[in-house]
Structure 1
Amino acid sequence: MKSAVETLDPTKVKLTVEVEYDELKPSIDHAYKHIAEQITVPGFRKGKIPARIVDQRVGRGAVLEHAINESLSGFYRQAVTETNLRPLGQPEVEVIKVPDLDGTEGELHFTAEVEVRPEVELPELSGITVTVDDLEVTDDDVQERLDALRERFGTLVGVDRPAVDGDFVVLDLTAKVAGDEVDSVSGVSYQIGSGNMLEGLDEALTGLSAGETTTFVAPLAGGEHEGADADVTVVATTVKQRDLPEADDDFAQLASEFDTLEELTADLREQAANIKSSNQAVQARDLLLEELTKGDVPLPAGVIEAEVVRHLEGEGRLEDAEHRTEVTEQTETALKNQIVLDILAEQLEIKVAQNELLDYLVNASRQYGMDANTFIKTIDENGQIPAMVGEVARSKALAVALRQVTILDGAGADVDLSDFIGSDEDDAAVAVAADETVASDETEDAAVVEADEKA
C-alpha cells in the first residue's frame, strides 16, 4: 500500500492511498462468501455458491463495493499510522479508482481529507517561571475552619424575629406564570444566602418573620417554563437560627480525637496549610498551561463546529446565538489545551500504566455516582478507553512538566510541590512496568470510514 500526504492548511490534509489488488483480495473473498450466504441459487447450498455465479446474480461491481466498504476503514487507519498523522475529526473519503470489473487486476485508490492536529512548537520548560500565592496560614483561616466544624455540631433553634442572612426558614412556595400555577413546594427548609433555589429568594425572605407572606418575580430555573418570569408567593412558616457550641476543650473532645482546643486548632492550622499548598499546585498547573498555550495554535474549524452543534442539540438550544458564541469559545479553549497537552505528552514520552488508568476511572465513577465496575464496563463498551488514556496522559504530562519549570512564591522563594506532582523516580517506576503500559493511539478515535462514493 502506498500513501501520500498533501497539506491543505495547518489543520487539514489530503491523504491519497493506493491499495494493490493482492491487499484487497482478502476482502473481496470475504465479500463473495458473505453475499453467497445472503442469496439463493437453485442447485447450490447457501454459502457454497461459486464466485462466477455470484457475479452473474449480483454483479462484480456489487462484490467490489461490499469489499471496499468493508476494508476502507482499515486501509485508512493503516495509512494514518504510516504517515504519522493525528486526525481530530471525521475524514471525507472519495474512492477514485477500483479494480477491474472483468478481471483480477487493478488497484483501489481513494483520498481522505481530514482535519488533523497542527504542528505547534512549545516553549522550553526550563525557561518558564510561574509565581504562585504565598503559603501563609492566618488566624482567620484557622477560625474559619473551626467555625465550620462548630456548625456541623450546631443546633437549629426557632426564633421570634425577622429572618437574617444565615438563618434557616421553613417555607411554602407557589409559582405562577400568566396566572396559572406551574410549581409549588411545601415545608422546605432553606438557608438564606445559600442561593440554591430561586433568584431573588434570599432578598424576599430577609426581614420576614414566621407566619408572614411576601411575593416577588423571578425567572424559573427549570421545568417546562424554564427562564420564564413567574409570580412567586412565599410563606415563612418557621424561622430558625443555628446555635453553635462553645469552642472549648469539651467541644474539642466532642468533635475530634483531641483532648484540648489548643491541639484541635493546631491540627486545623496544619489542615489549612495542606489545602493552601494543594492550591499552590493547582495554581502552578493552571499558570503553566497558560504559558504553554500563549503561542499561536491553529484550530480545526470543522471539529469545533461539530462539537458545538452536538452540545447545542443536546441542550435543545441550537438556535440560541448568544449561547452558541459561549459554547464555541469554551470548545476552542478546551481543544487548544488538548492539542498542546497531547504534544507535551509526546515530547515528555509520557506512559500511562494500568493502575493509573484504573485510579482515574474509579475516581470518575464516584463523580458520576456510579458503581466503579459498571462505569468501567460502560466506558469500555462505548469505546471510550483511548479517550480516558489520553486524559490521564495529559494530566500526567502537566505534572511532569511542572518539575522542569521554576516555581516561585510572592517573595521569590522556590516552592516545593513534590507532594502533589510526584518525582522523576515515580516516572521511572512507571516506565519499567512495560507489561502494564496502556497504549494510546489517537487514530483509534477516528470513526469507521465509509466511502462517499460507491465503487
Structure 2
Amino acid sequence: MKTAVEELSPTRVKLTVEVPFQELESSLQAAYKKVAKQVRVPGFRPGKVPARIIEQRFGRAVVLEETLNDAIPKLYSKAVDEQDLFPVSQPQIEVTKIEDGEQVEFTAEVDVRPAFEVPDFEGTEVVVSSAKVTDEDVDAQLDALRQRFATLTGVDRPAKDGDYVVMDMRAEINGENLDEQQASDVSYEVGAGSILQGLDDALRGMSAGEEKTFRTTLVGGEHAGQEADVIVKVKSVKEKVLPELDDEFAQLSSEFDTLDELKESIRAQVRRNKLIEQVRQAREKALDALLEKIDIPLPESALKVEIEARKQYLDQQIAQSGLSREAFFRLYQTTEEERLAEIEKTAARALKAGFVLDKIVKSEELGVSEQELTDFVVRQAMQMGVAPNTLAKQLADTNQLTLAMMEIAREKAKTLLGDAAKVKDEDGNDVDLKAIYAELNPQQEQAEGEQDKEDKDDKGSES
C-alpha cells in the first residue's frame, strides 16, 4: 500500500491511497461469503454458492462493491496510522480507480489535529488560593449546619425576608383561570428570589389569611411568556429558628460529643477541601499558561461539533426545567446571548486543551492501567448513583471505554503539568503539591514508599 498526503490547510489533509489488488484478498473472500449468504440460487444451499456462479449470475461488480466496503475503512485507518495523523472528523472517501486484479485507488479528505510543538513547561509559575483555614471559614460551615437543623415556628405577624410561608397560587389571563397554573400548599422562603417576578414583593408584609394579586410574566407551562394576574393566598407564616451552638447541637448534628470536637473536625475538612482546590487550580492554571504559549488553528468541523454538543445539553437543561428560555436564563442571572458566547469560548478552549494534553500523553508515554480504568468507573458510578458493573457494561456496549481511557490519560497529563509548575499561594507562600498528596493520601504515600524501599533492596541484592 502506498499513501500520499496533501495538506489542504493546517487542519485538513487529503490522502491518496494506492492498494495492490492482492492486499484485498481477505476482503474479497469475505465478500464472496457475504454475497453467497444473501443470494438464492437453485441447486445450492444458502452460503454455499461458488464464487464463479455468483459472478455469472450477479456480476463481478457486486463482489467488488462488498470487497471495497469491507477493505477501505481498514485501509484508511492503516494509512492514518502510518502517516501519524490524528483525525478529528469523519473522512470524505472517494474511490478514484478500480483496476480489477491490479490495483485500487481511493482518496480521503479529513480534518486533523494541526501540527504543533509543546514548549517546555517545567517551572511554569502559577498562583493558587490560600489553604489557610480561618475562624470565618469554620463559622460559615457551622452556620450552614445550623441551617440544616433549623426548625420552623408559626408566627402571628406579617411575613418578611427569611420567613417561610405556605400559600395557594393561581393565575388568570383576562379573567380566565388557568388550570395548569394552580398550586396548593406551596412552601416558599420569602426573599429567596423566585423566578416568578413580583412574588417576593407581593409576599412581603402579608399575614396568614390574606390574599393579593400581582401582574407578572408566566415562566412555565402552556402560557409561558404571557402576561397574567397571579393570585396568592397566604395560609401560614413561619420563622426559622436556628439551634444554639453548644455540645447538645454537636451531638445532634454529628458523631461528636462536644462543640469543640465538631469545630476541629470542620476545620480539618475545610483544610482538606482547600488543599484539593489548590491542586485543582495548580493543574488548570498550569494548563492555561501552556495554552497561552501555543497558537493552534482549530478544525472548523471539530469546533462545530463541540459547540453543538454543548448547545444541545443547554437545550436539554431548559426543557427539563419546565421554564421558558427567558425565565431559565433569568434564573441563572444571565442572558441567552451571554450563555451562547460563553459556550463558544469554552468549546474552543476545551478543543485546544484536548489537542495539547493528547500530545503530552503521547510524548510522555502516559498509559492507563486496568486498575485506573476500574477506579474511574467506580468514581463515575458513585457520582451517577448507579452500580459500577452497570456503568461498565453501558460504557462497553456504547463503545465509550476508549473515551474513558482518553479522559484518564488527559487527567494524568494535567497532573504532570501541575507537578512541573512552580506554585505559590496568593499570600506568596510556596505550595508543595507532593506534600499535599502525602497529607491527602497518607496510606498511598506510605505504600509507595515501602514499594520504593523494596525496589532498592532488590537492586542491592542483585548487585
Give the counterpart letter for 1:128 in structure 2. T
Give the counterpart letter for 2:240 in structure 1. R
Distance in 2, Cα, partners of 1:390 & 1:191: 45
Partner of residue 109, structure 1? 105
1:115-134: CA deviations, max 9, x gaps?
Answer: 11122333322231001122
Partner of residue 62, structure 1? 62
Distance in 2, Cα, partners of 1:48 & 1:414: 76
Instruction: Choose from 376, 379, 396 the match for 2:395.
Output: 379
Q: Answer whether contact 2:158 2:206 (CA < 8 A) is retained.
A: yes
Distance in 1, Cα, partners of 2:273 & 2:8: 49
Q: Does 150-159 or 367-376 show the bigger shift? A: 367-376
**Structure 2 counterparts to residues 321-336 of structure 1, below 5 A:** 322=337, 325-336=341-352
Partner of residue 356, structure 2? 340
Instruction: Choose from 401, 406, 417 the match for 2:433.
Output: 417
**Structure 2 counterparts to residues 86-97 of structure 1, below 5 A:** 86-97=86-97
Please report the RMSD computed on the Cα atoms of aligned residues, expressed in angstroms: 2.9
Distance in 2, Cα, partners of 1:326 & 1:160: 48
Are 1:163 and 2:159 an aligned pair? Answer: yes
2:7 aligned counterpart, secondary structure: strand
Q: Answer whether contact 1:399 1:421 (CA < 8 A) is retained.
A: no
Q: Answer whether contact 2:283 2:417 (CA < 8 A) is retained.
A: no
**C-alpha spacing 1:278/1:377, structure 2 compared with 1 (3 Å):** same
Are 1:29 and 2:26 an aligned pair? Answer: no
Are 1:396 and 2:394 an aligned pair? Answer: no
Partner of residue 205, structure 1? 203
Q: Does 358-367 or 46-55 show the bigger shift? A: 358-367
Partner of residue 349, structure 1? 365
Distance in 2, Cα, partners of 1:117 & 1:169: 57
Q: How far did residue 56 of structure 1 move?
A: 2.1
Q: Does 228-237 or 135-144 show the bigger shift? A: 228-237
**C-alpha spacing 1:40/1:133, structure 2 compared with 1 (3 Å):** closer
Q: Answer whether contact 2:213 2:229 (CA < 8 A) is retained.
A: yes
Q: How far did residue 408 of structure 1 move?
A: 0.3
1:219-271: CA deviations, max 9, x gaps?
Answer: 55544455555543333222222211211222223333333322322322222
2:4 aligned counterpart, secondary structure: strand
Distance in 2, Cα, partners of 1:329 & 1:18: 41
Q: How far did residue 111 of structure 1 move?
A: 1.1
Q: How far did residue 5 of structure 1 move?
A: 2.0
Q: Answer whether contact 1:214 1:234 (CA < 8 A) is retained.
A: yes
1:293 aligned counterpart, secondary structure: helix
**C-alpha spacing 1:199/1:365, structure 2 compared with 1 (3 Å):** farther
Partner of residue 297, structure 2? 298
Give the counterpart letter for 1:392 in structure 2. I
1:7 aligned counterpart, secondary structure: strand
Q: Does 163-172 or 190-199 show the bigger shift? A: 190-199
2:296 aligned counterpart, secondary structure: coil
**Structure 2 counterparts to residues 67-78 of structure 1, below 5 A:** 67-78=67-78
Partner of residue 449, structure 1? none
1:64-123: CA deviations, max 9, x gaps?
Answer: 1111012221111111111111111111111111232xxxx2212111111111223333
Distance in 1, Cα, partners of 2:226 & 2:282: 42
Under a length normalisation based on structure 1, what TM-score does the superposition of the two structures give? 0.83
**C-alpha spacing 1:421/1:12, structure 2 compared with 1 (3 Å):** farther
1:1-20: CA deviations, max 9, x gaps?
Answer: 22222222121111222222
Distance in 2, Cα, partners of 1:184 & 1:281: 49
Distance in 2, Cα, partners of 1:384 & 1:228: 44
Partner of residue 235, structure 1? 233
Are 1:126 and 2:122 an aligned pair? Answer: yes
Under a length normalisation based on structure 2, what TM-score does the superposition of the two structures give? 0.82
Instruction: Choose from 270, 282, 288 the match for 2:286.
Output: 288
Give the counterpart letter for 1:56 in structure 2. Q
Give the counterpart letter for 2:426 in structure 1. G
Partner of residue 364, structure 1? 380
**Structure 2 counterparts to residues 126-145 of structure 1, below 5 A:** 126-145=122-141
Give the counterpart letter for 2:142 in structure 1. L
Partner of residue 250, structure 2? 252
Q: Answer whether contact 1:400 1:421 (CA < 8 A) is retained.
A: no
Q: Answer whether contact 1:3 1:16 (CA < 8 A) is retained.
A: yes
Return 5+ residue gaps in structure 2 as ranges.
319-324, 326-335, 452-463
1:210 aligned counterpart, secondary structure: coil
**C-alpha spacing 1:256/1:309, structure 2 compared with 1 (3 Å):** closer
**C-alpha spacing 1:392/1:381, structure 2 compared with 1 (3 Å):** same
Distance in 1, Cα, partners of 2:277 & 2:214: 40
Q: How far did residue 177 of structure 1 move?
A: 5.8
Distance in 2, Cα, partners of 1:350 & 1:293: 20
1:124 aligned counterpart, secondary structure: coil
Distance in 2, Cα, partners of 1:108 & 1:418: 57
Distance in 2, Cα, partners of 1:347 & 1:202: 58
Give the counterpart letter for 1:253 in structure 2. Q
Q: Does 84-93 or 152-161 show the bigger shift? A: 152-161
Q: Answer whether contact 1:174 1:232 (CA < 8 A) is retained.
A: yes
Higher helix share: 2
**C-alpha spacing 1:351/1:228, structure 2 compared with 1 (3 Å):** farther
**C-alpha spacing 1:338/1:45, structure 2 compared with 1 (3 Å):** same
Q: Identity, % of aligned pairs?
A: 45
Higher RCO (CA < 8 A, seq sep 6+) = 1
Give the counterpart letter for 1:58 in structure 2. F
Give the counterpart letter for 1:415 in structure 2. V
Partner of residue 49, structure 1? 49
Q: Answer whether contact 1:98 1:109 (CA < 8 A) is retained.
A: yes
Q: How far did residue 176 of structure 1 move?
A: 4.8
